[in-house]
Chains A and B, each alone.
Chain A
């Protein structure tokens, strides 16, 4: 076996230029595969984090039926926002923070301008732990502040529609829990360009929870509880543990349920990437097949000699498979290293990109995972061997007498 490897190695290095060209194909294919995978990993992580840490939180608790009627933001499906209820949730292992919310629709008024928009009432302190990215999006002014009970943050499109700047006062009008119109005055303390990635609504406002409870006439109540989980891969555990804690009146949903489109986007992206990666790999392996075919033709006399001196057909087969695997191994290792190098180069600073239809930039930090690297490496070695099966078989079936007599 060891002798075989030595011979295989020598054969690969003997034909330096040919090996180099074959290697470069494998190298190119793998570099691209790893690079694009890394970029997509980064993009998907940014999307996921944008949703989990900027919109939904990891887990949400509602009254039963709320999620189905979510677009109407029903106020009558409410829950207690007191320490007795929230404390129970906080006591579940891996839950790090709990924030009560009330999403509702209404009007913002300033002078003779009225804009219909969506609001989310947030607990200024707890929300900063559950969805810190919400606060980071505030570009002008400052985020919600417990010291400013009437201060709210609004999107820039909403403010320009009203003709209002940070620091101005506005009135919020909406129907309370019983359907009676109510209004409250508040101050714009900050603005952010967009509520989040893929956020359909551009005219959105965040207002302090106590103020909203007053406006909606539902003191001590909320309609949504957002929960932060650490580490994030314990979500299923937390969801399962929460169900008995909150009881059958409530529904517990992970962010996958609340923002199901994210999983679909990720799935679609992966599908396309895998398809293209496999085509690249196939082309590179065709190159190996070709190289091995030539190698067999070229070395007919050598094979004949080996057989004449008693080398078994099995060993000939193994020799050529080994040579191909060697090409796959070296090309794969170099390609992975180059791909990793590119990813590593951009991992720190990140790549700034703009999503289609969005007005704000996102930063992508590419990364690859060890299982992916290992799998790709194995695929390139085994794939090379598989590509060489046919030529190796040809070589092992040569008849010594004819092979020795061959001219080529």
Chain B
């Protein structure tokens, strides 16, 4: 107890030095917490954009569909309410929809370009991909039951056709047998251009339209499932696999968007490297402070040892001082970092990705991460103080007392 009092007094006595050490820890922890919060917000945005607006949590295809380099349309399935009912009954599944993915050429008679389209059923799609409803450019409205031949297209694609919303374009596609078929579509609105490819190539049409264009009445190429908890999509996928049997393949969103997965891993690596370097810089500052502390107080240490203070107690004294600095700095840093992240999480952060439209990010950070950062910073401070503390305790009282 006395030890604690002495330690605290020492910290307070050296106001400037303590403040600077604490600030170093504060900045380090604050920055790490902020970067983590920012990364989280960014990743959440990417995952939600991919999973909740496009891919869906789980997809079911005919066996071999994803690896099929040719004839993907031939690997189709019946558009069957019985399958929907069977999938909906699986625990963890909250919604089911059907789609056809296809491609072709779109043109206005003189200019034509390639497109990649997703045909959706507007009645069930938004329960599976809720963000798709908002995933339209400003001023456009999502597809609904009455869209019929309406299509949402990438802005650059429409611009290239010199078309405006309401204009009619022709979609040309190859059906399962390889024969070409063409149908008119009405430009209903624009898809958001988040990545270049979206604005250049993407199209969304209604399922009945695609079934007619591709001559696939009563057929679809994929069933898409929404789950209760995205993190546990793989478990649900396992149950879906068991229910559907050998003829089908089932994939969770992680397998379906390898780009998102790569991005997740890469950003984590950057974050960890930044944290490690900050940690080293903070620790070098602490070592310095504590060493100085020891040198400055040689006579004091000598006196303490002379009046019977144990070496163990001297070590503890210095460690407690470091602990205090670490706790104060790290807690304040975490609080500030967390505060900034929480504030940004509420107001949102608007940034524009290269070649795309502005996007809103909502940073957030897990309490466990904040606790971990504080814990690690405090631990680092203690480790940094070990050598100076040990050095202090090993002084010979006689020499120490004589020192100036």
Decide if A270 is an interface residue (CB 8 Å cutoff). no
The interface-forming segment of A126-134, A140-148, A257-265 is A257-265
**Bound complex: CA A264 to CA B354 (Å):** 5
* Residues of B contacting A162 in the complex (Cβ-Cβ under 8 angstroms): 70
Q: Is the CB of A116 within 8 A of B104?
A: yes
**Bound complex: CA A175 to CA B182 (Å):** 14
**Bound complex: CA A75 to CA B111 (Å):** 8
Decide if A369 is an interface residue (CB 8 Å cutoff). no
Q: What's the minimum C-beta distance from A333 to chain B, rounded to whole angstroms? A: 18
Q: Is the CB of B200 within 8 A of A71?
A: yes
Q: Is the CB of B285 within 8 A of A71?
A: no
Q: Is the CB of B70 within 8 A of A284?
A: no
Q: Considering the complex, which residues of chain B in the window 83-104 have a beta carbon less than 8 Å from any beta carbon of chain A? A: 103-104
Q: Is the CB of B21 within 8 A of A290?
A: yes
> What total of chain A residues lie within 8 Å of the partner, measured CB to CB?
63
Decide if A238 is an interface residue (CB 8 Å cutoff). no
* Residues of B contacting A280 in the complex (Cβ-Cβ under 8 angstroms): 277-278, 281
Q: What's the minimum C-beta distance from A104 to chain B, rounded to whole angstroms? A: 9
Q: Considering the complex, which residues of chain A in the window 109-140 have a beta carbon less than 8 Å from any beta carbon of chain B? A: 111-114, 116-118
- A-B contacts, CB under 8 A, total: 166
Q: What's the minimum C-beta distance from A349 to chain B, rounded to whole angstroms? A: 22
**Bound complex: CA A290 to CA B19 (Å):** 9
* Residues of B contacting A282 in the complex (Cβ-Cβ under 8 angstroms): 27
**Bound complex: CA A114 to CA B73 (Å):** 12
The interface-forming segment of A19-27, A50-58, A305-313 is A19-27
Q: What's the minimum C-beta distance from B136 to chain A, rounded to whole angstroms? A: 19
* Residues of A contacting B57 in the complex (Cβ-Cβ under 8 angstroms): none
Among B105, B280, B284, contact of A105 (Cβ-Cβ < 8 Å): B105
Decide if B66 is an interface residue (CB 8 Å cutoff). no
Decide if A11 is an interface residue (CB 8 Å cutoff). no
Decide if A84 is an interface residue (CB 8 Å cutoff). no
Q: Is the CB of A286 within 8 A of B20?
A: yes
The interface-forming segment of A185-193, A292-300, A318-326 is A292-300
Q: Is the CB of A113 within 8 A of B200?
A: no
Among B161, B266, B277, B288, contact of A290 (Cβ-Cβ < 8 Å): B288
Closest to A114 in B: B174
Q: Is the CB of A73 within 8 A of B111?
A: yes
Among B105, B157, B180, B281, contact of A283 (Cβ-Cβ < 8 Å): B281
Decide if B64 is an interface residue (CB 8 Å cutoff). no
**Bound complex: CA A68 to CA B162 (Å):** 10
**Bound complex: CA A146 to CA B344 (Å):** 59
Decide if A276 is an interface residue (CB 8 Å cutoff). yes
A198 with B259, Cβ < 8 A, contacts A179-B110, A283-B24 known: no
Among B156, B178, B195, contact of A71 (Cβ-Cβ < 8 Å): B156
Q: What's the minimum C-beta distance from A76 to chain B, rounded to whole angstroms? A: 7
* Residues of A contacting B197 in the complex (Cβ-Cβ under 8 angstroms): 200-201
Q: Is the CB of A293 within 8 A of B20?
A: yes
Decide if B120 is an interface residue (CB 8 Å cutoff). no
Q: Is the CB of B113 within 8 A of A113?
A: no
Decide if B274 is an interface residue (CB 8 Å cutoff). yes
Q: Is the CB of A76 within 8 A of B110?
A: yes
- Interface 0/1 of B291-334, CB less than 8 Å to A: 11001100000000000000000000000000000000000000
Decide if B114 is an interface residue (CB 8 Å cutoff). yes
* Residues of A contacting B160 in the complex (Cβ-Cβ under 8 angstroms): 69-74
Q: Is the CB of B282 within 8 A of A283?
A: yes
Q: What's the minimum C-beta distance from A40 to chain B, rounded to whole angstroms? A: 12
Q: Is the CB of B274 within 8 A of A18?
A: no
Q: Considering the complex, which residues of chain B in the window 351-380 have a beta carbon less than 8 Å from any beta carbon of chain A? A: 352, 354-355
Decide if A352 is an interface residue (CB 8 Å cutoff). no
Among B111, B115, B280, B288, contact of A18 (Cβ-Cβ < 8 Å): B288
Q: Is the CB of A22 within 8 A of B278?
A: no
Q: Is the CB of A286 within 8 A of B23?
A: yes
Decide if B399 is an interface residue (CB 8 Å cutoff). no
A356 with B110, Cβ < 8 A, contacts A290-B20, A290-B289 known: no
* Residues of A contacting B27 in the complex (Cβ-Cβ under 8 angstroms): 279, 282-283, 286
Closest to A179 in B: B110
Q: Is the CB of B259 within 8 A of A357?
A: yes
Q: Is the CB of A200 within 8 A of B112?
A: no
Q: List 30 A-B contacts (CB under 8 A).
A: A17-B291, A22-B284, A22-B288, A71-B200, A73-B113, A74-B111, A75-B111, A105-B112, A105-B113, A111-B178, A116-B103, A200-B196, A200-B197, A201-B114, A201-B197, A201-B200, A260-B355, A279-B31, A283-B24, A284-B281, A286-B24, A289-B20, A290-B20, A293-B16, A293-B20, A294-B296, A297-B17, A356-B263, A357-B258, A357-B262
Using a CB–CB distance below 8 Å, which chain A residues touch chain B? 17-18, 21-22, 24-25, 28-29, 32, 68-76, 105-107, 111-114, 116-118, 157, 160-163, 175, 179, 198, 200-201, 203, 260-262, 264-265, 268, 276, 279-280, 282-284, 286-287, 289-291, 293-294, 297-298, 356-357, 408
Q: With contacts A111-B178, A294-B288, A298-B296 known, what are 6 further pairs, Cβ within 8 A?
A: A73-B113, A74-B110, A160-B70, A283-B282, A283-B285, A291-B292
